Homo-oligomer: A and B are copies of this chain.
């Protein structure tokens, strides 16, 4: 299995955050998780609320654990709120079912996820995909 390297993770984070600055987004926080849902790298921009790690982590962790990107989780949350509430409980509170949790695949296999938080969920996705494009990886948002 291919994995996201530490160097790629830094490029993803740097590029996602630079994208946010270029487009005038609010300060972003970006996390990269591996195929097991474990943290590879994280950064929080100056001016963010202190608790941003938890949101970035929850977006990406939910994506890996459920094998569903944030938009699919949100659709499920709207259809069955109690189901996603249960998922939040099952995974220790670490599931945030909104866009910004981007699943990363290689040859059809999940190799990790990127979580972005700070601006609107849609802008968070823009930043995440820009980060992934910088390392030639495909994201499912």
Contacts and interface: CB of A to CB of B under 8 A. Distances in A.
A6 interface: yes
A25 interface: no
A85 B90 CA distance: 11
Contact of A66 (B9, B35, B51, B98): B51
A105 to B, nearest CB: 12
Nearest to A35: B36
Chain copies in the assembled complex: 4
Interface in A55-99: 55, 57-58, 64-68, 74, 77-78, 80-98
A10 to B, nearest CB: 7
Given A35-B36, A37-B36, A110-B49, A58 B6 contact: no
B93 A10 contact: no
A54 B85 contact: no
For the complex, would chain A's binding face be called helix, strand, loop or mixed by DSSP majority?
mixed
Given A46-B5, A51-B38, A53-B39, A78 B67 contact: no
Contacts of A95: 86, 89
Nearest to A80: B98
